[in-house]
């Protein structure tokens, strides 16, 4: 049984480790050069947030500890106002409730290393050019010319622009199946900005800002954010409107990356107007911003993820989401767990795989759609709401109730990032949590008091009205370790 995975990014490399449980013949083919030999500058150095679902997937193949070694814990959001003040908003109600910042390059390199050590074969600098579906043969352009490889099953883990997906959809169409994909632009593009370390006492490298915060400069229709990595630097990302779609917050007067034309003086004006504390933190910001390319953000929605037990997509190739919930990789890792579970159940025969792929689609599709939609909504939270007094008031109420009744009410953010509750149930629970906060806010206003002074039975009655029946119906037990996931370093304290 030969399994071929096209794409050795995060999901492809992790899947290779999982699939080695079924066969010794796992080949991963990657278009880029070996990320283990790349310098941080030449790789994609964006730091990613790793949360419950990603950690859980890594734990299934004993890689959680290795991943955590690469991570910096992040305890909350550090909001930078336009006036230069910084305000910390913790993520949770206990110090255990942290996220993890990890370098994409380092995590990917670790996964490739492990997959190779356990027996997978990797081919780098091989770019897929075609698939012959009649005998499941993939052809590649490579430094030595061309290469063709036959496999019993070909997986597309080749990212949001997936060449496997594009070829599969064409093949389905040629066979009369109505298959389609849409790339829904968000109206936002991004560019990376590296925040260097500073030199502290004893000539030691130190972080220029608090490394335990996800730093956000919210400015309405645009924002800047930065996440720490292990090397005392921060990877920042600047998000600007690009005019491809209308935003919930007006963007009049805000330039696009195209308007700025990679002109250093234009970036100087933008930074001086909206991000005046940046020049001190990133002395070479003009050079960085005017020399780097920008990328656009989109949600990928596709009707088909597999073809006849021969080809199957997972990770961004099946469901690309925008990054504002920090869940794309976490969802991709969860997709590997779910797909692998169905392959284990139904076996590696062609029929078995066909059933496994269909069950994977049926099970995971709605999860992917739900987190895709929540991630779109969260753009406004990160770029705008986090700086609004009303948002902070509601957060205070939510935090106070979560602290006192952690088994009755948890925020949507908590359910996405700290539990394994299916995303579609989290999305459905979200408005119910909001209704609880609305009622509690109204009660506090009418009694001229704060939520911690309301009698317990009053608070519980509100939760029981809006949320408890939903949790009961779906057997969601917050505080249950099967639903919540903490890494080992904090698990014993929970």
Ligand X SMILES: Cc1cc2nc3c(=O)[nH]c(=O)nc-3n(C[C@H](O)[C@H](O)[C@H](O)COP(=O)(O)OP(=O)(O)OC[C@H]3O[C@@H](n4cnc5c(N)ncnc54)[C@H](O)[C@@H]3O)c2cc1C
Q: Which of 218, 241, 328, 487 is the binder for ligand X (CB under 6 A)? A: 328
Q: In the bound complex, what is the minimum distance in angstroms from residue 250's beta carbon to ligand X? A: 23
Q: Kindly tell me which of 12 and 487 has the beta carbon lying closer to ligand X.
A: 12
Q: Which of 3, 4, 10, 429 is the binder for ligand X (CB under 6 A)? A: 10
Q: Binding of ligand X at residue 374 (CB under 6 A)?
A: no
x/- site string to ligand X, residues 14 to 33, per CB under 6 A? ---------------xxxx-
Q: Kindly tell me which of 423 and 471 has the beta carbon lying closer to ligand X.
A: 423
How far apart (Å, rounded) are the C-alpha atoms in residues 338 and 327?
A: 16
Nearest residue (beta carbon) to ligand X? 9
Which of 403, 410, 431, 318 shows the shortest CA–CA distance to 367? 318
Q: What is the DSSP string of 229-246?
A: -TTS-EEEEEEEE-SSS-
Instruction: Considering only the stretches 55-63, 261-269, 326-334, 359-367, report the one whose residues sit in contact with ligand X under the rule CB under 6 A.
Output: 326-334
Q: Binding of ligand X at residue 157 (CB under 6 A)?
A: yes
Reduced to 3 states (helix: H, G, I; strand: E, B; else coil), residue 307 is strand
Instruction: Find out whether 359 and 346 touch, Cβ atoms under 8 Å.
Output: yes
Q: Binding of ligand X at residue 4 (CB under 6 A)?
A: no
Q: Binding of ligand X at residue 332 (CB under 6 A)?
A: yes
Q: Kindly tell me which of 323 and 430 has the beta carbon lying closer to ligand X.
A: 323
Which residues, 6+ apart, have CB-to-CB distance to 277 below 8 Å? 80, 84
x/- site string to ligand X, residues 185 to 204, per CB under 6 A? -----x--------------
End-to-end CA distance of the chain: 43
How far apart (Å, rounded) are the C-alpha atoms in residues 494 and 478?
A: 12
Q: Kindly tell me which of 20 and 329 has the beta carbon lying closer to ligand X.
A: 329
What letter does residue 474 receive in the DSSP assignment?
A: T
Q: Binding of ligand X at residue 237 (CB under 6 A)?
A: yes
The H or E element containing residue 462 is helix 456-466
Q: Binding of ligand X at residue 105 (CB under 6 A)?
A: no
Q: In the bound complex, what is the minimum distance in angstroms from residue 103's beta carbon to ligand X? A: 11
Contacts with ligand X by CB under 6 A: the residue count is: 32
What are the C-alpha distances in Å from 488 to residues 55, 56, 222?
10, 11, 37
Q: In the bound complex, what is the minimum distance in angstroms from residue 320's beta carbon to ligand X? A: 7
Q: Binding of ligand X at residue 213 (CB under 6 A)?
A: no
Q: Kindly tell me which of 309 and 326 has the beta carbon lying closer to ligand X.
A: 326
Q: Binding of ligand X at residue 271 (CB under 6 A)?
A: no
Q: Is 159 left (phi over 0), alpha (psi -120 to 50) or beta?
A: left
The H or E element containing residue 311 is strand 311-313
How far apart (Å, rounded) are the C-alpha atoms in residues 99 and 56?
A: 13
Q: Kindly tell me which of 46 and 348 has the beta carbon lying closer to ligand X.
A: 46
291 CB burial (10 A radius; 0-12, 13-18, 19+): exposed
Alpha carbon of residue 382 to chain centroid: 14
Q: Which of 327, 370, 417, 427 is the binder for ligand X (CB under 6 A)? A: 327
Q: Binding of ligand X at residue 6 (CB under 6 A)?
A: yes
Q: Binding of ligand X at residue 401 (CB under 6 A)?
A: no
Per the listing, tokens 């130190």 go with 206
Q: In the bound complex, what is the minimum distance in angstroms from residue 361's beta carbon to ligand X? A: 16
Residues that bind ligand X (CB under 6 A): 6-12, 29-32, 46, 48-49, 127-128, 157-159, 163, 190, 237, 315-317, 323, 326-330, 332
């Amino acid at each position: 049984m030969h399994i071929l995975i096209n794409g050795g990014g995060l999901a492809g490399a992790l899947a290779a480790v999982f699939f080695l449980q079924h066969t010794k013949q796992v080949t991963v083919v990657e278009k880029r050069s070996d990320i283990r030999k790349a310098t941080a500058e030449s790789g994609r150095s964006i730091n990613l947030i790793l949360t419950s679902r990603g950690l859980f997937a890594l734990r299934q193949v004993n890689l959680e500890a290795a991943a955590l070694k690469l991570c910096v814990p992040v305890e909350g959001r550090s909001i930078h106002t336009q006036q230069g003040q910084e305000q910390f908003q913790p993520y949770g109600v206990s110090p255990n409730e942290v996220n993890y910042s990890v370098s994409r390059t380092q995590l990917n390199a670790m996964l490739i290393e492990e997959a190779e050590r356990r027996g997978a074969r990797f081919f780098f600098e091989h770019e897929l050019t075609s698939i012959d579906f009649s005998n499941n043969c993939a052809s590649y352009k490579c430094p030595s010319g061309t290469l063709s490889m036959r496999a019993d099953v070909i997986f597309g883990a080749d990212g949001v622009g997936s060449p496997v997906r594009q070829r599969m959809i064409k093949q389905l169409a040629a066979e009369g199946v109505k298959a389609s994909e849409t790339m829904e632009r968000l109206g936002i593009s991004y560019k990376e900005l590296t925040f260097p370390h500073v030199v502290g006492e004893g000539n030691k490298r130190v972080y220029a800002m608090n490394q335990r915060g996800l730093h956000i400069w919210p400015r309405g229709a645009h924002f800047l954010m930065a996440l720490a990595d292990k090397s005392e630097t921060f990877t920042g990302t600047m998000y600007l409107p690009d005019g491809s779609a209308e935003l919930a917050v007006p963007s009049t007067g805000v330039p696009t990356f195209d308007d700025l034309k990679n002109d250093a003086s234009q970036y100087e004006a933008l930074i001086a107007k909206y991000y005046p504390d940046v020049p001190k933190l990133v002395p070479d910001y003009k050079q960085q911003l005017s020399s780097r390319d920008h990328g656009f953000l989109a949600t990928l929605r596709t009707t088909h993820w597999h073809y006849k037990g021969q080809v199957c997509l997972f990770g961004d190739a099946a469901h690309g989401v925008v990054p504002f919930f920090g869940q794309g990789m976490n969802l991709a890792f969860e997709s590997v767990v779910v797909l692998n579970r169905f392959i284990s159940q139904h076996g590696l025969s062609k029929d078995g795989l066909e059933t496994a792929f269909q069950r994977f689609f049926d099970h995971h599709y709605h999860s992917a759609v739900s987190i895709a939609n929540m991630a779109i909504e969260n753009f406004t939270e990160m770029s705008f709401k986090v700086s609004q007094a009303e948002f902070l008031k509601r957060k205070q109420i939510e935090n106070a109730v979560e602290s006192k009744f952690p088994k009755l009410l948890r925020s949507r953010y908590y359910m996405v990032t700290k539990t394994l509750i299916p995303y579609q149930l989290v999305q459905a629970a979200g408005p119910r949590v909001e209704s609880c906060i609305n009622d509690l806010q109204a009660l506090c206003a009418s009694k001229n008091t704060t939520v911690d002074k309301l009698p317990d039975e009053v608070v519980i009655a509100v939760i029981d009205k809006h949320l408890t029946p939903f949790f009961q119906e779906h057997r969601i037990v917050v505080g249950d370790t099967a639903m919540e996931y903490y890494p080992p370093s904090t698990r014993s304290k929970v």
